[in-house]
Amino acid sequence: MRRFATLFAALDGTTSTSAKVAALAEYFRTAPEDDRLWTIALLSGRRPRRSVTATELREWAAEAAGLPLWLFEESYPVVGDLAETIALVLPDPARATERSLAEWIGTIRALAGRPPPARKAAILDAWDGLGPEERFLFNKLITGGFRMGVSQKLMTRALAAATGLDEAELAHRLMGAWTPETVSYRTLIHAGDPAADLSRPYPFFLAYPLEAEPGTLGDPAEWFAEWKWDGIRGQIVFRGGALALWSRGEELITDRFPEFARLADFLPAGTVIDGEVMAWAGGAPLPFAELQKRIGRKTVPRKLLAEAPAMLLAYDLLEAEGADLRPLPFATRRARLEALAATLPPDAPLRLSPELPFAGWDALAALRAGAGAARAEGLMLKRRASAYGVGRRRGDWWKWKVDPMTVDAVMVYAQAGHGRRATLFTDFTFAVRDGDDFVPFAKAYSGLTDAEFAEITRWVRANTLERFGPVRRVPPELVFEIAFEGIQASPRHRSGIALRFPRMVRWRRDKPVAEIDTLEGLRALLAARG
């Protein structure tokens, strides 16, 4: 654990990408294999399942520190992180325990299902043998909130440097449903797992936002355009007679979309298709809200299957008859995808994402203006000569989204942030007018500068009307412009409306509360978006 704590300190103490890669590579060269495997798992989002509640940890830590629980609870929002608060208040350890990262994770996993007294004894014993930095990491692992500020792409680059293996091949091996309980480091990294290869997707190729004018991309003839669909990015993998659907977040979601099982009757063996999962009916996409009803479900009732049937809008062919097509030009892959799609019956739950021909950049801009009517977020631009890469890379794939919708609203509640923002009020609830009333409709916490957050924090402290735990009600005086990507009906909210990806664009110091938008206006916008 001490070696892992040293790695964490090195990563947390620098913003240099090369320094992070060097620290990770050295760790992957020297750490025990079980620790390397768990580190790879943690950095790719595979964390041990939580076995102790946050309430239990707070109570046990306060007791061990000799503090009344109320004082611990007052300290927690100031620090902004439960794991760090516990590490700070605990007394010095009585001994030094030399155990590896894998051994400590084994201890955490063994707590599942044990009675509270046994779990408490194990946690107190662990705290008593770990130094402050190691306690902090141990607490993070217990709570399931572990973050190291390192992307999976950067971690893969470091692993390639440590092992001498190809980075793209490593990225592919790290995809799929493996866990440290089901595979060893040597099998995962060096030997490969033939059984896992059958269902494993490819790393997704991601687009960069196009912020310049599209004319900077050069000759329009070199580019392919299609809608940027507002759905769930996914890969259909059909190998060994089994069909799997993977999300971009490396989650196996086959069971949530049983419609796609029919594709096993039509697709050739050894096929992998990249596309967008959409709710689809009547030859057109349904609002994202209809698809969202299915996202969090393990099983989908018949009624919901009928109301929001799924369709895969296919836009790339990554594997055909077991051959990896990713190095081929996009134009070649697209032609083969079109030929494959032509063999499917008309009622198959897969159709091509249509190409949008354009004569020039001005014509493309006109197409983009109609994205809303197509229930799309904008356009995707793909260089016809481009290979299918790994992760996000500039130059070949661009997303040119339409400008977000905006609304002017007033802040009515404020809450402190976490981590380095624990001393600032950064999380706000906003309202619009409804006659003489103010109706909350959205929360946002990003988009302002640190200086603005500091100024708002001073105002909140001086103007608090009521406190509800960490939340403060404030007078409706500060107006902000809120941007969002989508709007949908929501019976769970008092306003009847929910926004997609709301964020603050600017603090409207120039605008009085009397001129903010209304609930009626939001309802009209919802109706217009259909």
Kindly name the residue from 228, 303, 401, 443 that is annotated as catalytic: 228
Averaging pLDDT over each range in 48-57, 92-101, 470-479, which range is the top one?
470-479
Q: Does residue 257 sit in the same domain as residue 391? A: yes
Q: Does residue 273 sit in the same domain as residue 413? A: no
What's the token pair of residue 271?
């096929």
pLDDT at 424: 86
| Residues 258 and 305 sit within 8 Å (Cβ to Cβ) | yes
Question: Cα–Cα distance between 199 and 176 in angstroms, integer?
Answer: 7
| Domain end (from 381, 401, 421) | 401
pLDDT at 192: 61
pLDDT at 420: 65
CATH number of the domain residue 459 falls in: 2.40.50.140
What's the token pair of residue 190?
């060096």
pLDDT at 196: 58
331 confidence band (pLDDT: 50, 70, 90): very high
Q: Does residue 374 sit in the same domain as residue 280? A: yes
Q: Does residue 395 sit in the same domain as residue 289? A: yes
464 confidence band (pLDDT: 50, 70, 90): very high
28 confidence band (pLDDT: 50, 70, 90): very high
Name the nearest CA neighbour of 412 among 396, 423, 424, 425. 425
| Domain end (from 118, 143, 168) | 143
- Per the prediction, the chain carries an average pLDDT of 88
pLDDT at 122: 92
Question: Cα–Cα distance between 152 and 130 in angstroms, integer?
Answer: 28
Q: Does residue 332 sit in the same domain as residue 428? A: no
Percent of the chain whose pLDDT exceeds 70: 96
Q: Does residue 430 sit in the same domain as residue 371? A: no
Q: Does residue 134 sit in the same domain as residue 211? A: no
226 confidence band (pLDDT: 50, 70, 90): very high
83 confidence band (pLDDT: 50, 70, 90): confident
Number of domains in the chain: 3
Q: Does residue 221 sit in the same domain as residue 335? A: yes
In the residue annotation, 228 being an active-site residue is answered as yes
For residue 8, being part of any structural domain is answered with yes
Phi then psi dihedrals of residue 7, to 5 deg: -60, -45
For residue 334, being part of any structural domain is answered with yes
For residue 169, being part of any structural domain is answered with no
Question: Cα–Cα distance between 90 and 268 in angstroms, integer?
Answer: 60
pLDDT at 146: 67
- 315 pLDDT higher than 90: yes
Question: Cα–Cα distance between 263 and 196 in angstroms, integer?
Answer: 21
CATH number of the domain residue 374 falls in: 3.30.470.30
Q: Does residue 237 sit in the same domain as residue 384? A: yes
pLDDT at 179: 84
For residue 397, being part of any structural domain is answered with yes
> In terms of pTM, does the model score above 0.75?
no
For residue 184, being part of any structural domain is answered with no
- 478 pLDDT higher than 90: yes
- 149 pLDDT higher than 80: no
Question: Cα–Cα distance between 72 and 88 in angstroms, integer?
Answer: 11
Q: Does residue 252 sit in the same domain as residue 361? A: yes
pLDDT at 171: 82
pLDDT at 318: 97
For residue 456, being part of any structural domain is answered with yes
Q: Give the largest Cα separation in the chain, rounded.
A: 74
Question: Cα–Cα distance between 432 and 481 in angstroms, integer?
Answer: 11
| Residues 202 and 326 sit within 8 Å (Cβ to Cβ) | yes
pLDDT at 271: 96
| Domain end (from 357, 380, 401) | 401
194 confidence band (pLDDT: 50, 70, 90): low
pLDDT at 529: 66
**Three-state SS at 418:** coil
Min mean pLDDT across 135-139, 193-197, 259-263, 350-354 is at 193-197
Specify the pairing of strand 391-392 against strand 205-206: parallel
Residue 349, domain extent: 205-401
First to last CA, the chain: 54
For residue 148, being part of any structural domain is answered with no
pLDDT at 474: 94
CATH number of the domain residue 61 falls in: 1.10.3260.10
Q: Does residue 117 sit in the same domain as residue 225? A: no
Question: Cα–Cα distance between 354 and 335 in angstroms, integer?
Answer: 12
pLDDT at 530: 57
Question: Hey, what amino acid is at 319?
Answer: E
What's the token pair of residue 343?
């063999």
Name the nearest CA neighbour of 380 among 365, 397, 361. 397
For residue 195, being part of any structural domain is answered with no
Q: Does residue 496 sit in the same domain as residue 349? A: no
What's the token pair of residue 287?
């609002």
